[in-house]
Amino acid sequence: MNRPSVYITEPLPMVEEMVKLLEDAGVEAEVSEVFHEYVPGDRIMDVDGVVVADSRITPETVEKARRLRIVQKFGVGVDTIPVEVCRRRGVYVCNIPGINSLDVAEFTLAAILSILHRVRERDLMAREARWSDRPKVLSERLTGKTVGIVGFGRIGRQVARLLKPFKTRVLVYDPYVAVSLVEEYGAEKVEDLARLLKDSDIVTLHVPLTSETRHMIGRREFRLMKPDAVLINTSRGAVIDEEALYDALKSGRIRAAHIDVWAKEPVSEDNPLLKLENAQLSLHQASWSVEFFREAARFCAENIIRVLRGLKPLNIVWEK
């Protein structure tokens, strides 16, 4: 009888910890040496489990998989997985919400502070020893500003908590949460996204990618924002219309943005956002901390082992 096997679709940091846990449980684990935009179908045709981070799995791949029992997302968003096809075929789809929420929230706060305090500009100025240029690069306090949080799930709530020492006014737009929950975090719920955009000095996005949220920030929304507004996106790239974002930054319609997630990943070298000085950028790494990878590796391995032992896994996405 063949040993149960798992395919890990990307060379994730600290993946050796996951491999060891799986192999100690008698599970054969293979790790892809490269990132695939689409997981090759032949790699998962005869495995019992898959761990996937940012790669995409097509419906056709799942249909042809002969032994697949679980697709374990190494993260939260499952828009890259054909969930309904998996469900129909009796393949669990699970994610790991909660483990990375503090990491993303801390990254969000760091991005806001970096922009307001012009850390990149000051670093460059120091490397070029431009002492006489110091009066040209002044920062702004976060304290006292209005921060708009779009999406008040685990990450949005952590952001609100981390903002408390800065005495900011926090506005929240999320039609799916109660006013009482928002008020627990010292924030104010608004019923209209337009109002949040008009009133906020900083707007930070923490929503899943759905038909409702795709391009929820576009040309109309940028016209509503303050001209000195800062936009942070650590959710999903397609939540923003990237062409409209480029035009808003290029024209000075908004002051700056930090973009961690992209409409197309991996991001193309010719993406025009890469050339803008008022765009602070990262490569879908807001949650990438040592602590997150260690905890996530353990969760993924243990959840797959549960399924292979005939138990029901944790965090099945369609049961939420």
Catalytic residues: 236, 265, 284
Q: Which amino acid is at 319?
A: E
Tokens of 217: 């920030």
Nearest to 276 by CA among 244, 243, 251, 249: 249
d(CA 192, CA 194): 5
Instruction: Report whether the peptide linkage leading into residue 135 is cis, meaning its omega lies within 30 degrees of zero.
Output: no
Answer yes or no: are the C-beta atoms of 182 and 189 closer than 8 Å.
Answer: yes
H or E element, residue 72: strand 70-73
d(CA 302, CA 222): 44
**Residue 43 vs residues 8, 51, 160: alpha-carbon distances, Å:** 10, 12, 42
Burial status of residue 24 (CB atoms within 10 A of its CB: 0-12, 13-18, 19 or more): exposed
H or E element, residue 221: helix 219-224
**Local structure of 300: helix, strand or coil:** helix
For tokens 């685990």, the residue is 154
**Local structure of 215: helix, strand or coil:** coil
